[in-house]
Amino acid sequence: MLQAVRYLLGSPGGANGFGSKSTAEEVTPDLCSVTAIITGATSGIGAETARVLAKRGARVVIPARSVKAAEDMRARIRDECPGADVLVMPLDLSSLASVRAFADRFLDLGLPLHLLINNAGKFSHGQLALSEDGVEMTFATNYLGHFLLTKLLVGRMAETAAETGVQGRIVNVSSSVHGWFAGDWAEYLQLVTRRKIPYDATQAYAVSKLANVLHTKALAARLQEMGANVTANCVHPGIVRTRLNRDRDGLLTDLVFLLLSKLLKTIPQAAATTCYVAAHPRVAGVTGRYFADCNEALPSPAATSNHEAARLWQISEAIIHCTNTNKSTGLGLLFPPIVQEAGDDQT
């Protein structure tokens, strides 16, 4: 109860002085000479993250499935910050081939890389859809594409950190919804993909966000084993305030909407935790942790398992290897190679 009251009041949750009402601009220091890749930066939390980092002097790379949307975002940033260095590059996270192509293009530029913010995500409102690689679309977009992207870019991040002495940071944007799934995620994906159980969009989203947290745990351990001066953390941005129903009427209904609005965040507030973990000096050296409201928090029990983190990594590596060598049978029983055309709201 006390924690809920503090959240509503926006009280700082720790010694850093920041809390649920802090904004991205408030928590982000100067970032001159820093290069950041931010996925999903054409709208919402990702767009605010890109805007603030660019405003603080970072070179921002915006990969997007819709290049036009990314170019529009670049124009908006430059309208506010005329000298901002913003690069636009094509990327469809649901396609592992597209992820590989993006990584190749970026590495060919010879740029340093200090920050990788894996922010893009989707929530399916329809029926089961599979990626071109035969993977459930929400899992493919929210997790698997980011897993491969990170794998392909982490070497450049380690090199940049060694050359500049500036610690690299990887931020995976998860959600508290990851705690809504407590079963066997691999079995669930297998059954859903084979249409053995009904598709539940919320469960699929929760599985993908659980994977984000487990990925962070395994990645942080591997970075330490490598001796790389790069950290990996994940964040829960909070629930963002959206336009409420304007046709509501009645005192009771108005009261419900008023109370609900106090629990939700504005987009600048929702982007704060991502920016804090990506850039604030207080997070230097911190790795493998879960953050909410700009402070460390506890993920669900399922997200703390070393065994599940290692299992997820192993399965992810197997999928990536098989798709890279065109061995559809290599996807095995977990993700049979069924390809279904479907829309994707990722930008």
Residues annotated as catalytic (active site), given as ranges: 199
Which residue has tokens 């330490």?
A: 224
3-state SS, residue 146: helix
Q: What share of the chain is helix, strand, coil (3-state, %, to 5)?
A: 50, 15, 35
Q: How far apart are CA 149 and CA 235, in angstroms?
A: 18
Q: How many helices (H) and strands (E) does the chain have?
A: 13, 8
One-character DSSP codes across 266-321: -HHHHTHHHHHHHH-GGGTT--S-EEETTEEE---GGGG-HHHHHHHHHHHHHHHH
Closest by CA position to 268, among listed 46, 30, 76, 9: 46
In this structure, what DSSP letter does residue 130 have? B
* C-alpha dist (Å) from residue 42 to 69, 86, 219, 235, 275: 6, 12, 26, 19, 16
3-state SS, residue 110: coil
In this structure, what DSSP letter does residue 248 have? -
Residue 175 backbone class (left: φ over 0; alpha: ψ -120 to 50; beta: rest): beta
Closest by CA position to 237, among listed 169, 291, 296, 171: 291
Q: How far apart are CA 143 and CA 170, in angstroms?
A: 14
Question: Do residues 38 and 44 touch, judged by C-beta distance below 8 A?
Answer: no
Beta bridge partners of 36: 60, 115
Q: How far apart are CA 90 and CA 64, in angstroms?
A: 5
